[in-house]
Amino acid sequence: MKRTDWSVVVAVVVVAGLLLAGFGPLPFDPREPHLEAILTGPGATHWFGTDRSGLDVFSVTLAATAEILPIALVGTLVGGVLGVVLGALAASVLSGRESGSSGRSEWLLRVLDMMQSLPVAVLMIIVVGIGGRGTNVTGVIAALALVNIPLFAKVTYAQALSVVHEPYVVAARGYGASRTRIALRHILPGVSGIIASQFSLSIGNAIIALAALGFLGIGIAPPDPSWGELIRQGSEEVASGVWWLLVFPTATICALVLALNALARRLSTRKGLAHA
């Protein structure tokens, strides 16, 4: 009997709900300022209050989710796919060779180490910010890809190496299964759990990174709806006690990332992997 894991149910509902809400009808246009209501607190009209230019915080927060989640997804996907291919190549899975690593894969791993020696935030600020202020979707996707390639490659490499020597893979090779069949039917299922888990984790990190970039005015920036911009205004209004610009976007980010991390943990334990 399998016990229902409520954390996963909640996680899926939260992510799907926020995404649908962002694409669905919003009470106000997230780009249209209400000059008669600047920096008003939460109330009946503006549920989460308004910001310095009179934008409805509720609408902006949800619209930002709909704006940011797809970009986080695409960027992570690009990095993830490239990383998985590199990791599989390094583990010699694709060439179907018996011995796991080789001199060439050692080389590849060192290059990945080099890529990772750069602090993630430093890399992202430079790749995204060098184009100047404003929305820069290409930059964000490139940065997310660069950050994720080494992560996915290493996870895939380590996991594939441990699967390649499993008896069922050796047996499949013994009865003459083709390389592609071994890679797709036998090795891929063995590594898919941890890759899915890493994917969920990486999207969560991408969301946090995009909030930070938005705070600096890069990545997704005004006039596009952005959490970071709300938080930036909130930080400048701290001395006047404007809490709603901080609390609501933060709660949204927090809910999304918590949900994605819970999903990641579930995905990694399902395959009998250590609780990380």
| One character per residue 160-199, x = contact with another protein (rule: CB under 8 A) | ----------------------------------------
CA 244 to chain centre: 25
Q: How far is the CB of 137 from another protein (least distance, A)?
A: 15
- Which of 77, 217, 266, 269 binds another protein (CB under 8 A)? It is 217
- Separation between Cα atoms, residue 68 and residue 23, nearest integer Å: 12
Q: Could you tell me which stretch among 44-52, 91-99, 117-125, 156-164 binds another protein (CB under 8 A)?
A: 117-125
- Separation between Cα atoms, residue 152 and residue 76, nearest integer Å: 10
- Separation between Cα atoms, residue 104 and residue 134, nearest integer Å: 41
Q: How far is the CB of 258 from another protein (least distance, A)?
A: 5
Q: Could you tell me which stretch among 64-72, 82-90, 164-172, 227-235 binds another protein (CB under 8 A)?
A: 227-235
Q: Is 190 exposed, middle or buried (0-12, 13-18, 19+ CB in 10 A)?
A: middle
Contact between 75 and another protein per CB under 8 A: no
Measure Cα distances from 167 to 162, 163, 187, 194 in Å: 11, 9, 12, 20
Contact between 9 and another protein per CB under 8 A: no
Q: Are 197 and 268 in contact (CB under 8 A)?
A: yes
Residue 135: strand, helix, or coil: strand
- Which of 26, 71, 141, 211 binds another protein (CB under 8 A)? It is 211
Which of 66/260 has CB closer to another protein? 260
- Which of 53, 101, 250, 269 binds another protein (CB under 8 A)? It is 250
